[in-house]
Amino acid sequence: MEATDSKTSEKLKIVDILSMVADDLDAVQGVIEEIQIDAKGAHADRLLAASRALKDVASDVEDAHERAESLR
Mean pLDDT of the residues in the chain: 86
Structure confidence at residue 72 (pLDDT)? 65
The DSSP-derived string for 34-48 is HHHHH--HHHHHHHH
Cβ–Cβ under 8 Å, residues 11 and 72: yes
Q: Residue ranges of the chain with pLDDT lower than 50?
A: none
Tell me what pLDDT residue 27 has: 92
pTM to 2 decimals? 0.72
pLDDT of the residue at 6: 78
